[in-house]
Structure 1
């Protein structure tokens, strides 16, 4: 993620801000320019202080619910922004407990779309492609409805609204024996399944992917059943980014995809802050890095990994100083780095 500033007063602002805390100027995100911009009223529309395209903009229709700060062109037909137009079902926000949870889901989803747009990945919605477009259903559990399972099915990503409840998410994390569980992590994982369909299956990369992740034609349901009954193989840490990744090549791909997005987006934030890691107590340069490049670019995967490992060691140590768990409790073995390299080549191909 980039750092953004208010073009009116120069105050640093967050990606999710809809107004500047310093000058109170209205803010909106321009997905075409990947910029958070201060706005100036122009009749029934806005003009953006960022950029010089002279265009007029409107708020996304979900802005009225505090769920979106992205903009759409005032001269276009769209009422929903580039992220919100992929929504197929949202929860009943007339129920007071649903609105803040949906807002949390949208904040995570918009961060996902920032990365997908930065990588210039294909993003057909259900209007563009009614059968296979990327769509989201955010479902709340009700007494007369079946259990809601987070997952992906042919472009349709379902997320249980209860995942936006911090206590429930932590309970599931402990129950599943996970070291990491976040809303953004869910989005990045599930969209990995979608892009396996788009970039691997339909993109002519099936054989190349199987050479790295294994034979995905093995029975998926049986693989999941075996995983839940027997657990992961004893040596899974040598070959997979997580225990869950070991259950089937599809899950291995989706988990690796999610971690690739974790890495590039966090490195971009570190670059925006000009971070440099150079602990004087350590001999040699094994933990040295200067974040001064674009991790979303098409460079070598090894450069990303070489920058990531010192950063992770530093932030994990800082977290422990505050009594918090590690920010990134995972190990990048050589085989995992090879899988990340496949994802890197895939998204830049």
Structure 2
């Protein structure tokens, strides 16, 4: 995720900013332009309408309904759009009971993570796609006496238990499942991988090369998951071919975990590049210096160049975290087998 500048005063702002702390301008992200904009009210053109500051006769916008009603969104909607919700919020079809304060706060956090996912997918050219909708989301809460809500994907719908937005509950589940990493954005990236497997592999007629790398997805999914959890922590040397232990459960999960890691890579590289970051890795004889390239630069950097920048960047990130007494932000070490799968994802997306 890149950082932005207020286009009124030039001050540094962020993707989730709603106001410039330097000049006080109202800010909104414009999904149609993939840009952060300083907006000024345009009451002469209509109630609750805004346009970019300094523009006369340009495009007009209104704030997403979830911004006005819940302070839960900073995306704007083109004034010509009949839908009150922004391009990201309208993908959420089912919500928990927002009259409960805990549900409201958790939903706000989930929507923030979903907007980050929306941005990355849109930058990759995957969403929105003319003539094809992106995934649909249902955010649900456990109810007494009902079966527990399971996070997952089915038929284009991504379901997320809002309890995942509670830091304590998410940490409890991470420890219980022996996971090194569990975040909201990680969940959404993983589940979006299942959606895009349908789009890019199944419907893109790429099943044969997929199976040569990930295995045959036609094996019984429920039985594979049951066998995976029955093994507990005894999963053998999974790291030689997989990005995570959970990726060994089934080829679909291997793909989704690899897809999520690819989005991690894209997002982190873009952030570092927006700060014009360079990383020098100390060495006894000759230190190696790596300048981070924007993954969306033209021409796009090659996959191997991205990997060469990714490895020292995550080393620096984890070292900084350890200096502050925190756990590694990226607790993974990717093998050549896992890298081959990441390259497969990269080549599909670029195509």
Q: After the TM superposition, which of the residue ranges 244-253 and 133-142 deviates more from structure 2?
A: 133-142
Which runs of structure 2 are paired with 1:268-307 in the superposition (5 Å)?
A: 268-284=270-286, 287-295=288-296, 298-307=300-309
Gaps of 5+ in 2: none
- 8 Å Cα contact 1:123-1:134 kept in structure 2: no
Q: Does 1:61 align with 2:65?
A: yes
- Does the 8 Å CA contact 2:274/2:294 hold for their aligned counterparts? no
User: What corresponds to 2:20 in structure 1?
Assistant: 20
Name the counterpart of 1:105: 110
Which deviates more, 152-161 or 290-299?
A: 290-299
* Residues in 1 aligned to 2:297 and 2:182: alpha-carbon distance in whole angstroms: 24
Aligned 8 A contact 1:58 1:73 in 2: yes
TM-score by length of 1: 0.94
Matched residue, 2:138: 137
Find the aligned partners of 2:333 and 2:218 in 1 and give their Cα distance.
27
Q: Map 1:1-349; keep pairs closer than 5 Å.
A: 1-43=1-43, 44=47, 45-49=49-53, 54-64=58-68, 65-123=70-128, 134-231=135-232, 233-284=235-286, 287-295=288-296, 298-349=300-351
Q: Secondary structure at the match of 1:326?
A: coil
When the two structures are superposed, what TM-score results if normalisation uses the length of structure 2? 0.93
Alignment CA distance shift 1:278-1:55 (3 Å)? same
- Partner deviation per Cα, 1:100-156 (whole Å, 9 max, x = no partner): 11100001000000001001115479xx77xx8610000011214321000000110
Output the CA distance in 1 between the equivalents of 2:346 and 2:115.
21
Q: Deviations over 1:155-203 (max 9, x none)?
A: 1000001000000000001000000000000000000000001111111
The DSSP-based 3-state class of the residue aligned with 1:28 is strand
CA-to-partner distance for each residue in 1:14-42, whole Å, 9 max, x for gaps? 11111112222110001122111111110
> Distance between the aligned counterparts of 1:35 and 1:51, measured in 2?
15
CA drift of 1:272 comes to 0.4
3-state secondary structure, aligned to 1:288: strand
In the TM superposition, residue 61 of structure 1 has moved relative to its aligned partner by 1.2
Can you give the 5+ residue segments of structure 1 that lack an aligned partner in the other structure?
A: none
Secondary structure in 1 matching 2:96: coil
Cα distance in 1 for residues equivalent to 2:54 and 2:251? 43
SS at match of 2:217: coil
Closer, same or farther: CA 274–26 of 1 in aligned 2, 3 Å: same
How many aligned positions are there? 344
